[in-house]
Amino acid sequence: MSEHPGPEAGHGEVGAGRTVVGGSAGADDERRPAGPRDQGRRRVGLLGGTFDPIHLGHLVVGEYVRDRLGLDQLRLLVAGDPWMKDSESAAHHRVAMARAAVADHDAIVVDDRETHRDGPTYTADTLAMLHEEEPGCDFHFLLGADAAAHLPDWHRVDEALALATFVVVARPGSDRPTHDLMGGTTWVQAPLVDISSTQVRADITAGHSVRYRVPELVRAYLDDHHLYRPTP
């Protein structure tokens, strides 16, 4: 992670001009309400992750950003073969849980394209593909402060940054990154939700409850499929 002033307290304020979404923010904080150049263009958010499993943290920040940035749709982009971490549950389970989590939301959907691709998946490739398929869309790629700290390590990061507005959200335990690439991103001080998939997995393995940290449908799925339980 990175070494910066921690996430500012408070959230929910929208500033003038370049839109500041939540808390105090720097010059790189921007909101882009539909202006003349955006007219007729669909604003689509992408929240990439392994979702192993999806939890309330993903949902709270996703919905907050979707609403505050006035996005027409948010897509949960489920990673297939993440090049920087191993996922513990098969992609079809992670996709099914993500779908269950947002089944009741008209403006949030799951995109499982990366799970059908062999080998490592790079955001730059996915964004290029989306642009080709949907030239009428403006894409916003959401990521937590912990993930944003690693942006400089990303494969073809400049291409990725050119293809979407990168929106970085605060995350408990992660300072706001200060590397140079942050200057081209939008910072959103979303409500802080201290939940991680790692902790959820560990608690399930240890036999603890994860009720209310994951949606009930996800909890039922975890139970039905005995995910993250110790192998007997």
Task: Summarize as ranges the residues that interact with ligand ATP (CB under 6 A).
Answer: 49-52, 57-58, 61, 143-144, 146-147, 169, 171, 193, 195-198
Specify the residue, 25 or 195, whose C-beta has the smaller distance to ligand ATP: 195
Rounded least distance, CB 170 to ligand ATP, Å = 7
Q: Give one DSSP letter per residue of the chain, joined into a string.
A: ---SPPPPS----B-SSSPPBSSS--TT-------GGGTT-EEEEEEEE--TT--HHHHHHHHHHHHHTT-SEEEEEE-SS-SS---SS-HHHHHHHHHHHHTT-TTEEEE-GGGGS-S---HHHHHHHHHHH-TTEEEEEEEEHHHHTTGGGSTTHHHHHHHSEEEEE-BTTBPPP-SGGGGGEEEE-PPP----HHHHHHHHHTT---BTTB-HHHHHHHHHTTTTPPP-
Rounded least distance, CB 45 to ligand ATP, Å = 12
Rounded least distance, CB 115 to ligand ATP, Å = 13
Specify the residue, 33 or 173, whose C-beta has the smaller distance to ligand ATP: 173
Rounded least distance, CB 24 to ligand ATP, Å = 18
Specify the residue, 130 or 143, whose C-beta has the smaller distance to ligand ATP: 143
Specify the residue, 33 or 152, whose C-beta has the smaller distance to ligand ATP: 152
**C-alpha closest to that of 110 among 181, 51, 186, 191:** 51
**What end-to-end distance do the CA atoms of the chain give, in Å?**
35
Residues 6+ apart with CB under 8 A from 93: 53, 221, 225, 227
> Which residue number is nearest to ligand ATP in terms of Cβ?
144
Q: Is the peptide bond before 53 cis (omega within 30 degrees of 0)?
A: yes
Specify the residue, 130 or 166, whose C-beta has the smaller distance to ligand ATP: 166
Rounded least distance, CB 66 to ligand ATP, Å = 14
Rounded least distance, CB 148 to ligand ATP, Å = 7
Specify the residue, 74 or 147, whose C-beta has the smaller distance to ligand ATP: 147
Rounded least distance, CB 25 to ligand ATP, Å = 16
Specify the residue, 66 or 171, whose C-beta has the smaller distance to ligand ATP: 171
